[in-house]
Amino acid sequence: MHQTPQKIQTDTLVIGSGIAGLSVALKLAQKHQVYLIAKSTVCEGSTQYAQGGIAAVLDPFDSVQAHIDDTLKAGAGLCEKKAVALVAEQATESINELIRLGVPFSKEQNSEAYHLTQEGGHTHRRVIHAADHTGRSVINTLVEQVQNNPNITILTQHITVDLIMDADNKQCLGSHILNKETNQVITLLANYTVLATGGASKTYLYTSNPDTSTGDGIAMAWRAGATVTNMEFNQFHPTCLFHPQDRSFLISEAIRGEGGILKLPNGYAFMKDHDERADLAPRDIVARAIDHEMKKHGIDCVFLDISHKPADFIQHHFPTIYARCLKSGIDITQQSIPVVPAAHYTCGGIETDLNGQTTINRLFAIGETAYTGLHGANRLASNSLAEGLVFSNMASQQIIKIYSKLDEAVVEQVKTWDTRHITQAKERVLISHDWDEVRRIMWDYVGIVRTDKRLKQALKRIYILKSEVHEYFYAHTLSSDLLELRNLTLVAELMIKSALKRKESRGLHYNLDHPKTYSKSRPTRLNPKQVKLHKIKN
């Protein structure tokens, strides 16, 4: 049955319901009407699974400069210093806002002081947390605020198709959005659009991220003409549970921060052979070390051991990890945890300025989908949630400051999504097959350690898949899986193109053909007007 396409107009459109999306929606709602789009439930997203915490200067013996220095060092010479300083300076106030909203951060035992932990790459204890379920606690608090705000309309189970651009391709007018339950495409027009769609780690076969992390915002922004930067730097979390039923479950870096030790099956603590900081080295170093040891010894995993700590200490600080491992038959108070690296965080993304403004007028990007310059070639642990909070504040302030309505004549020219020439797919095997192949190609050829030959082979295979998906997309009715696959193939191409451009090894990008690190380097910028991706014949 054909449905009449729906057209909606609002002040501001926020796409994504993680910490960045929820925060910016709440701030914008103080002045404007907001539509908030959630691909799944309003709680689903990477923030929900963040265990460790949020980095901010909260200890009198710590300093903003120390936080800046640690971030710059972890970023391996590619951080934008102004972005680093901004986050380090404003993160503390962002934490205080969450405390005022009621986020139940953990406190020292028998004390009102907040418990701060230390994670890899940090020189001080500056990570505030809510046990080992910080993300869930923050999200639950923000969701309650959003749901009770009369200026915010929430659309769950909706996935964006593409951004809407004006005739001159100079400004964003909103987005076409698919209702996953009715299959109706809504044309949602907005004076300002904020992408907070998260990262693209689902591009890889093994990831700590939820199924929603398919690079939607990055892909849509690229198709609309936005610049993307540093897509070769995908962070692999060193320690995800290695278990047939729970392979993608993340084991927080805070375990190592509280004394956990990485060991080989024979009990040898190997990290001291790779870095003087041993188990507290930054993630890129630890992930490469684990990858090296697994290949060297022909083993499926390594082991993370915190069983030397008192049982009540472990259960108090890591209740979620303790319970999840116990469910899989592992008592972490007595046994080591089998772990492997998994794709975790997209350090590159849509390029923005310090207000979250992209290279497209009226389009903002915040959180993991954005490249702000904070993370450089490698993200420092627990800086991601801080970035989402700080830039949601910066973006909302800027939008409120420059707010103006779209020209009515421009709005009237926008057409609804055309479904006249498409048919219902008779079979969906191509989608499921290509989805699996993209992720296997990326895992095998564009992983922790790379070579030029592997990257070029990956690109050839992605070109074939991209052509298949393109043909399928324009011939059949839309589905969430199809839209995500379309975005995954494009983001995979952007990642590979960026990796091929970098003729050195730095941070998260390690290429055996170019093992040296240049004394000076620049971010890898891809502009749709200058970089031609694989052309597809219609």
Q: How far apart (Å, rounded) are the C-alpha atoms in residues 119 and 254?
A: 6
Please name every residue paired with 340 in a beta bridge, in sequence order, or none if there are none. 240
Q: Side-chain half-sphere of 427: how many Cα atoms within 13 Å? A: 3
Q: Locate tokens 């220095």: which residue?
A: 69
Last residue of a domain, one of 302, 317, 344: 344
CB atoms within 10 A of CB 209: 26
Quote the CA–CA distance of 1 and 3 in Å, as a whole number.
Answer: 6
CATH number at residue 457: 1.20.58.100
Position 481 in a domain: yes
Is residue 140 in a domain? Answer: no
Cβ–Cβ under 8 Å, residues 393 and 94? yes
9/411 Cα distance (integer angstroms): 9
The per-residue pLDDT for range 59-117, each reduced to its tens digit, is: 999 999 999 999 999 999 999 999 999 999 999 999 999 999 999 998 888 888 899 98
**Which residue range(s) make up the domain with 269?**
241-344
Classify residue 385 by its DSSP letter: H
Query: What's residue 1's pLDDT?
Result: 31
Residue 296 forms part of a structural domain: yes
Residue 204 included in any domain? no
| Backbone phi, psi, residue 71, to 5° | -65, -45
User: For residue 145, is it within any domain?
Assistant: no
Cα separation, 33 vs 225, in Å, equals 27
Q: Per-residue pLDDT for 535 more than 80?
A: no
Residue 293 lies inside a defined structural domain of this protein: yes
Segment 166-177, tens digit of pLDDT: 988 889 999 999
Band (pLDDT 50/70/90 cuts) for residue 450 is very high
For residue range 213-243, what is the model confidence (pLDDT) as tens digits?
A: 899 999 999 999 999 999 999 999 889 998 8
CA separation for the pair 24, 21 (Å, rounded)? 5
In a domain, 375, yes or no: no
Exposed, middle or buried, 203 (CB in 10 Å: 0-12/13-18/19+)?
buried
Contact at 8 Å (CB) between 91 and 386? yes
Give me the active site residues, please: 283
- Output the pLDDT for position 421: 59
Region 400-421 average pLDDT: 87
Burial letters 225-238, b for 16+ CB under 10 A, else e: bbbbbbbbbbbbbb
Mean pLDDT of the chain: 91
Cα(415)–Cα(5) distance, rounded to whole angstroms? 10
pLDDT for the residue 282: 82
Last residue of a domain, one of 344, 366, 389: 344
Residues 377-386, mean pLDDT to the nearest whole number:
92
* pLDDT tier for residue 538 given thresholds of 50, 70 and 90: very low
Neighbour count for residue 148 (Cβ, 10 Å): 8
Q: Determine the pLDDT at residue 5.
A: 62
Overall number of domains in the chain: 2
Q: Does a structural domain hold residue 229?
A: no
**What pLDDT, on the 0 to 100 scale, is given for residue 419?**
67
Please check the confidence at residue 195 and state whether its pLDDT lies above 80.
Answer: yes
Is the pLDDT at 133 greater than 50? The verdict is yes
Whether pLDDT at 319 is above 50: yes
Q: Report how far Cα 454 is from the mean position of its chain's Cα atoms.
A: 25
CATH number of the domain residue 333 falls in: 3.90.700.10
Query: Does 314 have pLDDT greater than 70?
Result: yes
- Structure token digits, residue 448: 């922790």
Contact in structure between 354 and 81 (CB atoms under 8 Å): no
Residue that terminates a domain, selected from 318, 344, 370? 344
Q: How much is the pLDDT for 218?
A: 98
55 vs 243: which has the higher pLDDT:
55
Paired tokens of 231? 């897509």
